[in-house]
Structure 1
Amino acid sequence: MPRYAQLVMGPAGSGKSTYCSTMIQHAEAISRSVQVVNLDPAAEHFDYPVMADIRELIQVDDVMEDDSLKFGPNGGLVFCMEYFANNFDWLEECLGHVEDDYILFDCPGQIELYTHLPVMKQLAEQLQQWEFRVCGVFLVDSQFMVESFKFISGVMAALSAMVALEIPQVNIMTKMDLLNPKAKKEIEKYLDPDMYSMMEDNSTTLRSKKFNKLTKAICGLIDDYSMVRFLPFDRTDEEGINIVLQHIDFSIQYGEDLEFKEPKETEEEPSNTNYDEFFQDKVDY
């Protein structure tokens, strides 16, 4: 049987660890087994158990303190991820060979890992070789998506990850529970956006004459092919969390190979003899 994986991606501060924690709690509530692997070598803490932690292999602090390397935080993280890509056997040993695993991979927040560096692409391909069905889950903070130009930037970041990784991807707006009522109403139009209507935005942010033609082309590309859509994620809304999980499960065909459990046979109810005799008498009459 196949195994299943979510690559939880997104910019720093988009809520990746909170998403993993919420999914773990939701899975426990619906009696599903879900585990987490931490792939952020700069992570400090998280409030859920992990089955594997990249910090046991390499840490950003150790790389930065190495006098021969002299890397800063970003360079150190990229070095850690490239080192990880050369040591996938460590991950294979940690994952084991349990069938029907469902694992969330909590990834780092450096956006270049999902746009032009090959590390995450190599990870996705390696997981597929290990018979994982992989889905990318790209998170964007909803608090920064309430303006048209910021939304388009978020869409392009999600689209870059889709193109680079070449795996099914579900895009999510996180931290919906932190928005005020006015912002929640405003952001509804961005969940299933009409990109052409954004060009008619009354604000001046999309009316630069110099880049107007380019902006129109980008909006047209996204709208014509329906390439990017977002799901809202409110960690206090169990129904909304379940909808997100259903979309992801559908993209990786989770459950199609699960064994069908036949319902228990129920004993036939004893017939009502008096009623049967009465009905038979009526028929004979």
Structure 2
Amino acid sequence: MKRPEKRGAVANHPNVRGWAVNIIFIVGMAGSGKSSLTGAFHEWLKLNEQNSLIVNLDPGVTNLPYNPDIDIRDYISLEAIMEEYQLGPNGGLILAADLIGDNIEEVRESIEEVGPDIVLVDTPGQIELFALRESGPFITRSIAECPKAVVYLFDGPFSSKPLNYVSNMYLAATVYIRLLQPQVYALTKIDLLEEASIDEITGWTNPQRLIETLDKIQSKTASLVSRDLARAISRAHLNFKLIPVSSKTNEGFIDLNAALTRILTGGEELRP
């Protein structure tokens, strides 16, 4: 496939000398609001005079709520893959996701030519296509040699049920094991939740409070399995402190930015 034209010119970019970049991967279940958060947080960063760039790594997406600066669809055509290899949509997506790794050097060069301070990476809609395939850890390692972090999204309405919350904990732990990058946890779509529901979900960060909630589940099997999973994850000392955010109102973005700043730059603003 023809290599796309580069966006931006290194010679004219203000950050070329002494340039440093921080890369943030937006990860979560399908429908958790990854693209919405990516676009809204990008605009919020710009309003706060932080130079950010968006990379879309979803080869199968048809509509995005933002204009990506670097788009994997410029390198990989899902339709062409399906036609060439006689694959259905699912098989095509799996192969396309694996092929992202073959194009990561071009993506890296495009990032370097633009020279942003922050790169927001919008990962594929289906979490397994990125986190559970070999290409995911490879991309995370290879995209650049720089500080990196993962923002794992807990879909607010989905996570309001304790069993769903535990499922998200398990997936978040799996993503951490696979990618081995510092993680921040965002509770999305809080504009769709009552304040009491937000407080309840964020309160489940306390393992004992979560166990007490799971004890009340009517299905004994579901209660037992979910409690064992919650205890196992707790023993791994993973901190699932949730940052409530809304991509519609930008609520919580100050806290999200602060958490990422602490991880990536030790408290300095996310720019040189």
TM-score (norm 2): 0.82
Contact residue 152 and residue 183 of structure 2 kept, 8 A: yes
1:174 aligns with 2:188: yes
Q: How does 1:219-238 map to 2 (within 5 A)?
A: 219-224=230-235, 225-238=237-250
Contact residue 56 and residue 123 of structure 2 kept, 8 A: yes
Residue equivalent to 1:267: none
Q: How does 1:1-285 map to 2 (within 5 A)?
A: 1-66=19-84, 69-97=85-113, 101-127=117-143, 130-179=144-193, 181=194, 184-193=195-204, 194-201=206-213, 203-205=216-218, 207-208=220-221, 212=224, 214-224=225-235, 225-238=237-250, 240-253=252-265, 255=268
Q: Unaligned stretches of 5+ in structure 2? A: 1-18
CA distance in 1, matches of 2:135, 2:218: 35
- Deviation at residue 52 of structure 1 after TM alignment: 0.9
Moved more, 197-206 or 131-140: 197-206
What one-letter code is carried by the residue in structure 1 that aligns with 2:179? L
What's the secondary structure of 2:239's corresponding residue?
coil
CA distance in 1, matches of 2:271, 2:59: 34
Contact residue 39 and residue 108 of structure 1 kept, 8 A: yes
What one-letter code is carried by the residue in structure 2 that aligns with 1:215? S
Shift in alpha-carbon separation, 1:173–1:235, aligned structure 2, 3 A = same
Contact residue 196 and residue 219 of structure 1 kept, 8 A: no
What's the secondary structure of 2:220's corresponding residue?
coil
- Deviation at residue 3 of structure 1 after TM alignment: 1.1
Contact residue 58 and residue 72 of structure 2 kept, 8 A: yes
- Per-residue CA shift, 1:110-156, capped at 9, x if unaligned? 221344311110011113xx332111111121110111111100111
State the superposition RMSD in angstroms.
Answer: 2.4
Contact residue 5 and residue 103 of structure 1 kept, 8 A: yes
Contact residue 123 and residue 130 of structure 2 kept, 8 A: no
Shift in alpha-carbon separation, 1:106–1:258, aligned structure 2, 3 A = closer
Between the two proteins, the alignment pairs up a number of residues equal to: 250
- Deviation at residue 92 of structure 1 after TM alignment: 2.3
CA distance in 2, matches of 1:241, 1:87: 31
Contact residue 156 and residue 188 of structure 2 kept, 8 A: yes
What one-letter code is carried by the residue in structure 1 that aligns with 2:127? I
Residue equivalent to 1:279: none
CA distance in 2, matches of 1:98, 1:58: 21
- Deviation at residue 95 of structure 1 after TM alignment: 1.6
Contact residue 148 and residue 206 of structure 1 kept, 8 A: no
- Deviation at residue 97 of structure 1 after TM alignment: 4.5
Contact residue 187 and residue 243 of structure 2 kept, 8 A: yes
What one-letter code is carried by the residue in structure 2 that aligns with 1:223? S
CA distance in 1, matches of 2:45, 2:70: 19
CA distance in 2, matches of 1:242, 1:39: 25
- Per-residue CA shift, 1:15-65, capped at 9, x if unaligned? 111101111221122111111011111111224332211111112222223
Q: Unaligned stretches of 5+ in structure 1? A: 260-285
What one-letter code is carried by the residue in structure 2 that aligns with 1:176? I
What's the secondary structure of 1:6's corresponding residue?
strand
Q: Please say which structure displays the higher CA radius of gyration.
A: 1
